[in-house]
Amino acid sequence: MSTVINDVPFVVTHESVATYRNGRNPRDGYDRGAGLKYRGLAQKIAAQPDFQAAAALAHDRSIVSPDRLMNLYMLIRLYLPRIAPGHIVEYGSFKGGSAMFMAKLAQHYLPGVNIYGLDTFQGLPAPDNSIDGLPPGEFASNYDEVTSAAKVAGLENLQFIRGLFHDTAPSVLTLCKNVALIHIDCDLYEPVQYAYDISKPFMVPGGYVVFDDATEASCLGATEAVENALIQRDGLHAEQIDPHFVFRYPPLKG
Ligand SMILES: C[S@@+](CC[C@H](N)C(=O)[O-])C[C@H]1O[C@@H](n2cnc3c(N)ncnc32)[C@H](O)[C@@H]1O
Give 2 or 96, the one with higher predicted confidence.
96
Q: Name every protein residue with a CB atom under 6 angstroms from any ligand 1 atom.
A: 62-64, 92-94, 97-98, 118-120, 123-125, 139, 164-165, 185-188, 191
Instruction: Give the list of residues 6+ apart from residue 91 with CB closer than 8 angstroms, or none.
Output: 118, 165, 169, 182, 183, 184, 185, 186, 191, 192, 195
Output the pLDDT for position 132. Answer: 98
Q: What is the pLDDT of residue 19?
A: 83
Where does residue 154 rank: exposed (0-12), middle (13-18), buried (19+ CB within 10 A)? exposed
pLDDT band at residue 17 using 50, 70 and 90 as cut-offs: low
Q: In what order do the strands lie in the sheet with 158-162?
A: 158-162, 115-119, 87-91, 179-184, 203-211, 245-249
pTM above 0.85, yes or no: yes
Ordered structural domains, the chain, with CATH: 49-249 (3.40.50.150)
Q: How far apart are CA 212 and CA 52, in angstroms?
A: 21
Sign for the pseudo-dihedral over CA of 176, 178, 180, 184: positive
User: What span, in angstroms and rounded, lies between the C-alpha atoms of 37 and 44?
Assistant: 12
**Whose alpha carbon is nearest atom 23 of ligand 1?**
119
Give the pLDDT score at 92: 98
Quick: pLDDT tens for 132-166: 999 999 999 999 999 999 999 999 999 999 999 99
